[in-house]
Amino acid sequence: MTNTAETVWTNCLSFIEDNITQQAYKTWFEPIKAVKLTDNALNIQVPSKFFYEWLEEHYVKLLKVALTKELGATAKLVYVIRMENTYGNKQPFTERIPSSNRSNSTSSQNVNVPLKSKSPELKNPFIIPGIRNVKIESQLNPNYNFENYLEGESNRLARSAGIAVANKPGGTSFNPLLIFGGVGLGKTHLAHAIGVDVKDKYPEKTVLYISAEKFVQQYSESVKKNNRNDFIHFYQVIDVLIVDDIQLLSGKAGTQDVFFHIFNHLHQNGKQVILTSDKAPVDMIDIEQRLLSRFKWGLSAELNHPDYETRVAIIKNKLYRDGVEMPDDIVEFLANNIKTNIRELEGAIISLIAHSSFNKKEITIDLAKKIVDNYVKHTKREVSIDYIQKVVSDYFQMDVETLQSKTRKRHIVQARQLAMFFAKKFTKASLASIGSQIGQRDHATVLHACKTVDNLSSTDKQFRKYVEDLQKKLTI
């Protein structure tokens, strides 16, 4: 049987659907049509350039995984943008041209792949800086720059420190520069912006952005493959090392140890280290004291919730960049209703634009209200069973496999029962489905777990504390 564009795409879709929210799937994937498959390149048609950019920015990894599963490592993806206003014109209009000379080019381009693109200006999320790589890709996202990182009271210190560091990496007293603050407040953006600016000013410097999560993974790989030293050397040649979300090193003693050595080496050699965290150093748990004290050597700068003016400015800037107009009262409405998370603010704008453009509706206050309601509620409720298991196992300092295992050790059984209890409480999943996701148990086990947790929390003080702590962690 031969693969047709349609069957390949249908298979990709079912994989994608399982991996994102229903809302996102409906908005971003249902409108796509597969048009042809030649030379292992799948051509998909998307409704607009905006749409394409959104896919590229948010779903490129997922698309790549889905496509590679279907077509193997040589898979390519070509976007065909349905031209607005030029009826019947099927000229492909795709990316990878700098925006200044974007035009109705007749050549279509491959987007995700080839996976080993050499061209340095292309952002290629698939080259993870491997050990022994000669040239280190900085993994920076050029869209996260200072130009579109708006300044406000809430970020002034962090932003100026970032600029100072970018001007003189390793040469200020802000070393390390630790940026901390809650979710969606701009840590990752700022961290990239510093890196992008350094690269601009000092192209010869080796800059590397890495999430702590990936760092942990790489480290454990290196231990498995017995090349821990190569791993360390790789990091020691970097001039500006940016590690995002270092709170994720918590509880990982081996990785902390190796990071400690890398940090010392870089610091002693006048190299710059930039870190982000969702907590202030004093609040970090399960991070070794000697590492924590290093974090405090330089400057810790907090990102706070943006004030009203900053929120309005951020919305307007985003609209301006997307070339969308929106009445002021709606901008104000959004700024008044989404206050604590810039990512949510952006999400609501995008949803609003998407809804209005797909349904050909005008952007009205009513539509905005609906979206804010859905959006804000939606993100608050977005607790998955996986997430619950992760939170519970972190809390009891075990890994998820242990929590799911068949063991009858009391503390593990309790952790598992708590995970089931919260899955029942915070998700709409059935008892059977909760059971099957938490270590392949049946619905009766889940029911029993829920009852046990209820009983224990009214009779056992320590246990009640567990429930309360976890409840807090899951609802913020």
* Member of 170, 186, 281, 298 binding ligand ADP (CB under 6 A): 186
CB of 148 to ligand ADP, least distance (A): 6
State in angstroms the smallest separation of the CB of 7 from ligand ADP: 35
314 binds, among Mg ion, ligand ADP, none (CB under 5 to 8 A by kind): ligand ADP
- Residue 38 has φ and ψ, to the nearest 5°, of -135, 145
Sign (positive/negative) of CA torsion 181, 53, 353, 36?
negative
Of the candidate spans 18-26, 165-173, 180-188, 253-261, the one that interacts with Mg ion by CB under 5 A turns out to be 180-188
Nearest residue to 240 via CA among 287, 290, 176: 176
Closest CA to 403 of 421, 390, 385, 422: 390
Query: Which single residue is written with the structure tokens 């809804």?
Result: 355
Q: Which residue carries 């974007």 as its tokens? A: 102
CA pair distance 32, 49, nearest whole angstrom: 13
What is the pattern of x (binds ligand ADP, CB under 6 A) and - over residues 295-314? -------------------x
How many residues bind Mg ion (CB under 5 A)? The answer is: 2
Residue type at position 22: Q
Distance CA 296, CA 299 (A): 7
* Residues 150 and 313: beta-carbon distance below 8 Å: yes
Which CB atom, from 179 or from 450, has the smaller least distance to ligand ADP? 179
Q: From Mg ion, ligand ADP, none, which one binds at residue 391 (CB under 5 to 8 Å depending on kind)?
A: none
Q: Smallest distance from the beta carbon of 276 to ligand ADP, in angstroms?
A: 7
Start-to-end Cα distance in the chain: 50
Q: Which does 185 bind (CB under 5 to 8 A by kind): ligand ADP, Mg ion, none?
A: ligand ADP
Phi and psi at residue 60, in whole multiples of 5°? -60, -40
Contact 241/274 with Cβ under 8 angstroms?
A: yes
Q: Taking CB under 6 A as the rule, which mask of x and - marks residues 224-253 in contact with ligand ADP? A: ------------------------------
316 touches ligand ADP by CB under 6 A: no
Distance CA 218, CA 198 (A): 25
For residue 299, list its beta bridge partners: 177
Query: Closest separation between CB of residue 114 and ligand ADP, Å?
Result: 28
175 φψ region: left (φ > 0), alpha (ψ -120 to 50), beta (else) = beta
Nearer to ligand ADP by Cβ, of 155 and 445: the residue is: 155
- Which residue's CB atom is positioned nearest to ligand ADP? 186
Residue in 27, 141, 155, 404 binding ligand ADP, rule: CB under 6 A: 155
**How far is residue 165's CA from residue 170's CA, in Å, rounded to a whole number?**
7
And the tokens for 398? 């075990």
Tell me the C-alpha to C-alpha distance, in Å, between residue 425 and each of 388, 391, 395, 446, 468: 11, 15, 18, 12, 13
Q: Is 346 a binder of ligand ADP (CB under 6 A)?
A: yes
Does residue 247 touch Mg ion according to CB under 5 A? no
Q: Given the complex with ligand ADP, which of 230 and 346 has the nearer CB atom?
A: 346
- Residues 434 and 446 sit within 8 Å (Cβ to Cβ): yes
What b/e sequence results for 51-74 when a residue is b if at least 16 CB atoms lie within 10 Å of its CB, and e otherwise?
bbbbbbeebbebbbbbbbebbeee
Binder to ligand ADP among 34, 46, 150, 158 (CB under 6 A)?
Answer: 150
Is residue 162 a contact residue for ligand ADP (CB under 6 A)?
no
Region binding Mg ion by CB under 5 A among candidate stretches 65-73, 184-192, 193-201, 430-438: 184-192
Among 76, 187, 271, 441, binds ligand ADP (CB under 6 A): 187
By CB neighbour count within 10 A (0-12 exposed, 13-18 middle, 19+ buried), where does 221 fall? middle
Q: Does 184 bind ligand ADP (CB under 6 A)?
A: yes
The interface region with ligand ADP, picked from 88-96, 101-109, 176-184, 456-464 by CB under 6 A, is 176-184
Closest contact distance (angstroms) between CB of 189 and ligand ADP is: 3
* Contacting ligand ADP within 130-149 (CB under 6 A): 148-149
Q: Which is nearer to Mg ion, 79 or 209 (CB)?
A: 209
Nearer to Mg ion among residue 248 and residue 412 (C-beta): 248
The residue from 94, 112, 138, 188 that contacts Mg ion (CB under 5 A) is 188
Is 277 a binder of Mg ion (CB under 5 A)?
no
List, in sequence order, every residue forming a beta bridge with 240; answer none if it has no partner: 207, 272
Least Å distance, CB 125 to ligand ADP, is 15
Tokens matching residue 304: 């706070």
List phi, psi (to 5°) of 36.
-160, 165
Residue 445 makes contact with ligand ADP by CB under 6 A: no
- Residues with Cβ within 8 Å of 409's Cβ and at least 6 positions away in sequence, in order, are none
Q: Quick one: 188 or 255, whose CB is closer to Mg ion? A: 188
Closer residue to ligand ADP in complex, CB, 342/456: 342
Return residues touching Mg ion (CB under 5 A): 187-188
Contact residues for ligand ADP (CB under 6 A)?
Answer: 148-150, 155, 181, 183-189, 314, 342-343, 346
